[in-house]
Structure 1
Amino acid sequence: MEQVNRGKYLVICAALLAAALVVCSLILANPLDNYATSRAAITVTGSAKKQITSDLAVWRGSFYQESVNLQDAYTNLKSDLAKVKSYLVEQGIPEEQIVVSSITTMPQYIYNPNGISTGQIASYRLMQSIEVKSNDVQKIAAIARAATELIEKGVIFESMQPEYFYTKLNDLKVDMLAEATKDAKQRAEKMASSTGSKIGALRSARMGVFQITPVNSNDISDYGINDTSSIEKEITAVVNVEFGIE
């Protein structure tokens, strides 16, 4: 009889324990579901593009003279510099915008038939360069193309490719990032709505690199691109954004 009563007791205890576990699971289920929902998030990449026109040009050119006599080379180079300055002023460049470098002297040595320097100087080559910075980018572009006209004046002149910059870039970056973030939000809303959800608060945003490329260029780099070869450019801003899901 004791064994029967004990068996009934164990059965009742087991039933009560099972019921308690069921109740606990029901109580915990809703908070866990809410926690999982609160942690749900979506990460998207947004971008914004804008075409910009360079407002600063930097142009460089160089010229040289060579003579067996160092003094003659210097005198001729000085004459060439005067011709270069005069030419640029005629083209509308204020003389104060013309920056002249120091003179570089390069002795030209005599080599024997085996290509070994004898240590004897055959002549002296003196080189000098100029630099012009201007906000009139179109004028600089035209001068850079035409500057070889100096050769007709007896100047051995080499014109470099101008570099073009946009000086208001830092101000523009703020607006570009705002546009990229707006684009990211729109993308997130479309993705969330496709699953019947809504996006919540912005949780994090990480700025990507800026790509400044020639217009219609497909160039891209993980480290960013800063094109200086073209007057008309396109700037692309990228942000990685995380939104909560409701």
Structure 2
Amino acid sequence: MQGLVNFRGSERYVTVKGLAMKDVEANIASWSIKHVVTGNDLSALQVTIEANSGLIEQFLLNHGVPKDTKFFKTVDVQDRFALTYGQEAPVDQRYIVSETITVQTDKLDAVEGAYQDVGELIKKGVSIVKEGQEGSGNPIYIFTRLNEIKPEMIHAATINARSSAEQFAKDSGAEVGAIKQANQGVFQMLPRHSDEMYLEKFARYKTIRVVSTIKFYLK
């Protein structure tokens, strides 16, 4: 419990902090799947990329992703001859063609199940790769309903702050009055099971935390 009692001037007030926490579950899952093919015939590689793209989409549908879900796709082509121009090191396969397919849905179990079974795609010859950044390629879980729970959390933080103010008031022989000033504080979204190596965006289950700073008049 933290607080500061002010008796200067004609005003008497106490400044306290109120904590509120709420456990929530993400309501949107977003997963980006990157697959790559290499070779010297660009047209043939494009055919393979499109075929593998169809396998990935069907794989997601088979795991419960709704049929009307939109898949966001980006394709990248690298010409290794151009990249190594002027260098002595030869390259066996000229082109690297990659496509990233991103799916966003409220069917979290479908995405989680597909992620666990991604080996099925590899068995079919689809070369799935992860980016260099740690955790890249994992599903991202998003909670979009923060505004819906803000009022109740602010209310809970205010009640918590008033409880602290009442203790300070009791110790100083006063009573808590109206709110003089309130600072809502910043809402933090944390993984429910705290781990320094575990980023919040990869956590399906999260904890929302806010600390409000409130000044109460003393009477």
Q: How does 1:9-28 map to 2 (within 5 A)?
A: none
User: Which among 152, 160, 181 is matched to residue 158 of structure 2?
Assistant: 181
Instruction: Provide the rounded CA distance (Å) in 2 between the counterparts of 1:37 and 1:78.
Output: 76
- Mean Cα displacement is larger for which, 126-135 or 36-45? 36-45
Gaps spanning 5+ residues in structure 2: where? 1-6, 131-136
Question: Any idea what SS the aligned residue of 1:174 has?
Answer: helix
1:130 to 2:101 alignment = yes
- 2:75 corresponds in structure 1 to 103
Identity across matched positions, percent = 24
Q: Identify if the C-alpha distance between structure 1 residues 216 and 70 changes in structure 2 by more than 3 Å, giving closer, same or farther.
A: closer
Q: Identify if the C-alpha distance between structure 1 residues 205 and 61 changes in structure 2 by more than 3 Å, giving closer, same or farther.
A: same
User: Which among 151, 155, 162 is matched to residue 139 of structure 2?
Assistant: 162
Greater relative contact order (Cα < 8 A, sep 6+): 2
Question: Any idea what SS the aligned residue of 2:168 has?
Answer: helix
User: Which among 159, 162, 184 is matched to residue 207 of structure 1?
Assistant: 184
User: Which among 57, 61, 65 is matched to residue 89 of structure 1?
Assistant: 61
| TM-score, structure 1 as length reference | 0.75
1:152 to 2:129 alignment = no
Deviations 1:94-137 (A, max 9, x none): 3431414132111113749xx93789895111111111112121
Q: Identify if the C-alpha distance between structure 1 residues 96 and 158 changes in structure 2 by more than 3 Å, giving closer, same or farther.
A: farther
Deviation, structure 1 residue 56: 1.2
Moved over 2 A (4+): 35-38, 109-112, 115-122, 216-219
Is this contact kept in 2: 1:204–1:242, CA < 8 A? yes
User: Which among 227, 235, 238 is matched to residue 200 of structure 2?
Assistant: 227
Is this contact kept in 1: 2:179–2:216, CA < 8 A? yes
Gaps spanning 5+ residues in structure 1: where? 1-34, 220-225
Question: Any idea what SS the aligned residue of 2:148 has?
Answer: helix
Q: Identify if the C-alpha distance between structure 1 residues 47 and 144 changes in structure 2 by more than 3 Å, giving closer, same or farther.
A: same
User: In the alignment, residue 155 of structure 1 is paired with which amino acid?
Assistant: V
Question: Any idea what SS the aligned residue of 1:96 has?
Answer: coil
- 1:52 corresponds in structure 2 to 24
1:143 to 2:143 alignment = no
User: In the alignment, residue 167 of structure 1 is paired with which amino acid?
Assistant: T
Query: Which structure dedicates a bigger proportion of its chain to helix?
Result: 1
User: In the alignment, residue 52 of structure 1 is paired with which amino acid?
Assistant: V
| TM-score, structure 2 as length reference | 0.83
Instruction: Provide the rounded CA distance (Å) in 1 between the counterparts of 2:208 and 2:74.
Output: 37
Instruction: Provide the rounded CA distance (Å) in 2 between the counterparts of 1:152 and 1:122.
Output: 23
1:80 to 2:57 alignment = no
Aligned residues: 204
When Rg is computed on C-alpha atoms for both structures, the one with the higher figure is 1
- 2:216 corresponds in structure 1 to 243
Q: How does 1:191-206 map to 2 (within 5 A)?
A: 191-206=168-183
Is this contact kept in 1: 2:60–2:111, CA < 8 A? no
